[in-house]
Amino acid sequence: MHRSSSSLATVIVLAVCATAHAAPPASVTRQHIVGDVYGYQFIIPVGTSPNAALRIHRVVRERAPFLPRPTTSAIMMLHGDFATFVTNFAPSLGNPASPSTGISVWLAQRGIDVWGVDRRWTLPAPDGDISDLGEMGLVQEMDDIGKALAFARGVRFITDASLAKMMLAGFSRGGQLTYAYASAEAAKPAAQRHLKGIVPLDVYLKTAPEDSDIRDFFCSIAPQEYDLVAEGVTDADNSLQIGLGANFLADPGAPTPFTDFFPPGFTNRQAFLAISARTFRFFPATPFYHLTAASFGADGRPAALTESAETVIADWYAGSPFHSAFLESADTDSLVCDQPPFAADVPLSRIRVPLLLIAAAGGYGAHALYTTTLVSSTDVSTILIQRKPDDEIAEDFGHGDILFARDAPQLAWQPLLSWLRAHE
């Protein structure tokens, strides 16, 4: 793979920014991925604070350098926690580079123009300036999503002669932002709207009445997160995820250094598997929530991942950005808690665009269905990927398996592609 930049690309983007009265990009890069698929990255300044920039991605087929093949469908994808667009959707571009090219490349190969935007907390280096993390909450992020969509549509107008609206998809917390943004945009005049549909990937924003235990969990942690922000503790760093992935890749049989989280004698691989397959012990989003499906030994401990390759999941963890924003967590967790005051007025009933939910039985699973019943859209589709009976949900298709499982293309990506084509 190689990277390059071009005066043609710069001219295109400058034209878009002039039309939108936006700041010009600080950089534009282009990177070959596979075949005729290329990845673009734009850095767009949006303010004066240390991390006031949007890192916007595009993955698309080309007919010539910097000339995308015409497409009739475009989608913007929002990453989840401890992730970026690359680590969730284009992992072969990551550091470490994954053997998996990811859903964005798979869709691009089939004629979809794939875009993404990284949230601002992904930008700082390990020792970078994080003095503005306390501002990185729901209101700012919805504004950033709107700017990213406007930018993408502007570029598509120049390169594809298309003014068509876009789909917005979000994985995990990115899916919660998708719901929130769609509601906020629906309150704007029609001429200011960018969306023609939304795709939450394995997540809920509201819980069903019978899920009171789940809701109580979020009602307990959201105030704690707000308290931390008020005390100036704004950084939920990702050192655990980074360490779990990097240590597994380096020496899976060595003792884990994370002795505060795991029993004595646990190896790097055992710690990695425990987080992956028993995630509910750390984050009970559902009673048996897990990032990836696994088999279990006679001792009850995870023995091996069953849906996704272990190195692919380890690359996901190891490639995590160094920082996350507590305010984002507090704002979205309070929406799940469903007790005001809220950071933004984003009722689900305002959403009228088509909606597709793809859920994993061992992730948010059936618990994610309730949120889809609260929107006003008459075009709602749901897909629940479930391989095992209900009493074996603890070992079923997991949250991250939607992105990384060996047969995710058949189970999750193809249904998404079919839905996108049906809504062109």
Q: What is the pLDDT of residues 160-210, one digit of tens each?
A: 888 899 999 999 999 999 999 999 999 999 999 999 999 999 999 999 999
Closest CA to 397 of 305, 322, 319, 330: 305
For tokens 């990551």, the residue is 94
The pLDDT of 333-340, averaged and rounded, is: 96
Residue 134 has pLDDT above 90, yes or no: yes
Residue 83 has pLDDT above 70, yes or no: yes
pLDDT at 12: 46
398: Cβ contacts below 8 Å, ≥ 6 apart: 276, 277, 290, 291, 292, 293, 307, 308, 360, 362, 363
Please state the pTM of the whole predicted model.
0.94
In which element (H, E) is residue 107 found? helix 103-109
- Whether 329 shows a pLDDT value over 50: the answer reads yes
- Domain 3-209+347-422 annotated CATH 3.40.50.1820: yes
How high is the pLDDT of residue 19?
43
User: In sequence order, what DSSP letters do the residues of 105-128 get, joined into one string?
Assistant: HHHHHTTEEEEEEE-GGGSS-TTS
Band the pLDDT of 121: cuts 50, 70, 90: very high
| CB burial readout 213-234, b (16+ within 10 A) else e | ebbebbbebbeebbebbeeeeb
Nearest C-alpha neighbor of 201 from the set 360, 388, 27: 360
Phi, psi dihedrals of residue 64, rounded to the nearest 5°: -165, 165
What's the token pair of residue 13? 């983007």
CA-to-CA separations, 424 to 17, 356, 417, in angstroms, rounded = 26, 14, 11
- Band the pLDDT of 72: cuts 50, 70, 90: confident
* Alpha carbons 291 and 368: distance in angstroms, whole number: 15
| Model pLDDT, residue 371 | 98
- Residue 161: what pLDDT? 87
Residue 21: band (very low, low, confident or very high) from pLDDT cuts 50, 70, 90: very low
